Amino acid sequence: MSNKPLHFATVCQSNQQLQQIAKRAQKLTQLNSILQEILPSQFAGHCQLANLNDNKIIIHTESAAIASLLRFHSATICKTLSNQLAVNIDRVEVKVKPGQSAQKSPRSNTIDMSNNNAALIAQTAAGLDDGQLKTALHKLAKRGEFSNDS
């Protein structure tokens, strides 16, 4: 007997319950893709279809603000998904799950910029009269410099 692990597909073929779980996961992934396409752009990447059962879809989102806005669109979501899936969906349940969004990357206050580019921006700012643009360019040049020091 080999100690080599079996491929997941091989294990699923021999186990009926795992086959059902894998099919369900694939279906939810496909439904999530459809959901992402029909949602208004402001919600893209901030929510995910978690489940579909009993004519109800459950959507997880990362903040209460997005959840509230999403609830206003629930009738449109139900109608569109019902039409696309040929299944009657009459209810949307939105749950807040902070940190659930895998598509969102942590934002940083630094910019990837070479020292040369930071120097060019600073030089451009130095050539300007005092004003908002000059201040903004100086700030931008400093942010670029910090990203290279860390």
pLDDT digits (tens, 9 = 90+) for 69-110: 988 888 988 888 888 877 888 999 999 988 755 444 444 555
**Dist CA 111 CA 96 (whole Å):** 31
Q: Measured in whole angstroms, how far is the alpha carbon of residue 131 from the centre of its chain?
A: 37
Q: What is the helix (H) or strand (E) element at residue 91, kind and residue range?
A: strand 91-96
State the helix-helix crossing angle for 115-126 and 132-149, rounded to 10 degrees. 160
Domains plus CATH for the chain?
8-96 (3.30.300.180), 115-149 (no CATH)
* Residue-level length of the chain: 150
Q: What is the pLDDT of residue 1?
A: 55
Q: Does 13 have pLDDT greater than 80?
A: no
Q: What is the pLDDT of residue 150?
A: 43
pTM given for the model: 0.58
**Burial of 37: CB neighbours in 10 Å, binned 0-12, 13-18, 19+:** exposed
User: Cα torsion at 68, 73, 79, 83 (round to 10°)?
Assistant: -100
Q: What is the mean pLDDT of residues 110-115?
A: 70
Q: How confident is the model at residue 59 (pLDDT cuts 50, 70, 90)?
A: very high
